[in-house]
Amino acid sequence: MTIKVLSGDHAVAYAVKLCRADVIPAYPITPQTLIIEKISDFVNDGEMDATFMPADSEHSAMSMAIGAEATGVRTFTATASQGLALMHEMLYVAPQTRLPIVMANVNRSLGAGSGIWAEYNDSMPERESGWMQAYVEDSQEALDTIIQAYRICEDPRVMLPMMVCLDAFVLSHTVEKVLVPEQAEVDSFLPRFRPLNVLDPADPKFINIAVSPAHSMEMRYQLDHQMRQAAPMINLIDEEFGKHFGRRYGGMIERYRMSDAEHALITLGSATSTARVAVDQLRAQGRKVGLIKLRYMRPFPHQEIQEAVKGVKALGVFDRSIALNGFGPVFTEVRNSVYRQGMPVTNHIAGIGGRDLTIPTFVQMFDKIEQSANALERECYWHGLRGEM
């Protein structure tokens, strides 16, 4: 193990190198570019035995990853925002054809009123594409989650692709201390890729062809089944990761000061670090607050959340994007999970378009959550809006 000071993007690049990805097609986009620049350095310096493919677009990058993965090699690509949107069509191919591609997505706001700062409205719409989705809190978790991702994706019981999401700039371009494992440590955790289906002239198969209504429904059912089956594997592989590397993340979710918590907040991404400090401050005042870090949007940790919020009197859900139905996407999923448990659930939208998230923002969220335990005045709050809205 080596201690390095790395940005989130560079932590991803180190992980991809350690995972011995074979073919890496990619197209540049801010704030992802540091990842593929670092990988290009590794390849051109001879430190990494991989083929880097300069794609002509993100659509082509994902198309190349699909083609390469279908020959039985390990692939990686990275994108953000508009790039992920351009890939949209191709995203749907990899899960159904069981190609366990791993991709980093640096979350950046998408669309008009455009900026290059953190927001989840690029990856959230893709949660129905069949890709697993992890959201990470810091550079260390970015590195570790990429390593876990290949194990999870390539497990014969899973065989699905995964996008590992990290926040623009707050993680992608901000450096911090990262423990970088040795190659041998990663090799002993991550075996060589054994593909399920490959293009092989000695054993001809077709991969992905027109399917009539007589068969397509079963294929979708299998995909959903596969996704549900991935959740226990994620928990298991995180445990095993802990045994190998001495640190783990709780699998699908992480609980923070939840054992006696009466008022809890669910967060994801780098905001979790700020929320932790808010929890500590409120705990010091004797307030019984706790935090649940959501690590995965797909598969969604229904069971884990139901378990974690037992005894909670009021629950809040942080969202860094809005589904334009009056709520954020994480809230919609969480309320679906806990509706039988009966506690009030409020949605807390903040940090949109990269707006700063501070400790007082999260203290304010806990105030509202505590208040909702007595009387639910509103279901959705926007925190940090300019002026009265």
Partner 1 sequence: MSGKPMTIKSMPQDDQLISGHGACGGCGLSTAVNNVLRILGPNTVVYAPASCFLVFSAMYPTSALKVPFIYSAFENTGAVISGISAGFRKQGKDVTVVGIAGDGGTFDIGLQAVSGAAERNDDVIYVCVDNEAYMNTGTQRSGSTPFGAWTTTTPVGKKVQGKREHKKDMMSVITAQDVPYAATLSIAHPNDFVRKVEKAKAIEGFRFLHIMTPCTSGWKTEPSITYELARLAVETGMWTLYEVENGEKKITYRPKEMMPVENYLKLQGRFKHMSKADIEELQKWLCKRWNRHYNPNMVNGEGQEQKELAYAGEESEGL
Which residues here bind partner 1, judged by CB under 8 A?
22-23, 25, 50-51, 53-57, 59-61, 63-73, 75, 89-90, 93, 97, 199-201, 203-212, 215
Return the number of the residue (90 or 334) whose C-beta is nearest partner 1.
90
Residue 107 C-beta: closest distance to partner 1, Å: 25
Strands 289-294 and 263-267, bridge-based pairing: parallel
- CB of residue 205 to partner 1, shortest distance in Å: 5
In the complex with partner 1, the residue whose CB is nearer, 204 or 286, is: 204
- What is the DSSP pairing of strand 289-294 with strand 76-79? unpaired
Q: What is the CA radius of gyration of the chain?
A: 21
At closest approach, how far in Å is the CB of 150 from partner 1?
A: 16
Instruction: Using the minimum distance from each CB to partner 1, give the nearer residue, 112 or 210.
Output: 210
Whether residue 299 has a cis bond before it, omega within 30° of 0: yes
Inter-helix orientation angle 359-374/271-284, to 10°: 60
Question: Whose Cβ is closer to partner 1: residue 64's or residue 110's?
Answer: 64
CB of 132 to partner 1, least distance (A): 20
Rounded distance, CA 305 to CA 267, Å?
12
> Looking at beta carbons only, is 203 or 260 nearer to partner 1?
203
The H or E element spanning position 83 is: helix 81-91
Give residue 46's region: left, alpha or beta (phi > 0; psi -120 to 50): left
Question: Whole-number minimum distance, CB 201 to partner 1, in Å?
Answer: 5
CB 317 within 8 A of CB 349: no
Enter the tokens of residue 63. 């198309």
Q: Which of 11, 13, 8 is nearest to 168 (CA)?
A: 8
Q: Which is nearer to partner 1, 212 or 285 (CB)?
A: 212
Tokens 């007595």, located at residue: 374
Determine the straight-line distance between the first and last CA of the chain, rounded to whole angstroms.
Answer: 50
Q: How far is the CB of 76 from partner 1 (least distance, A)?
A: 12
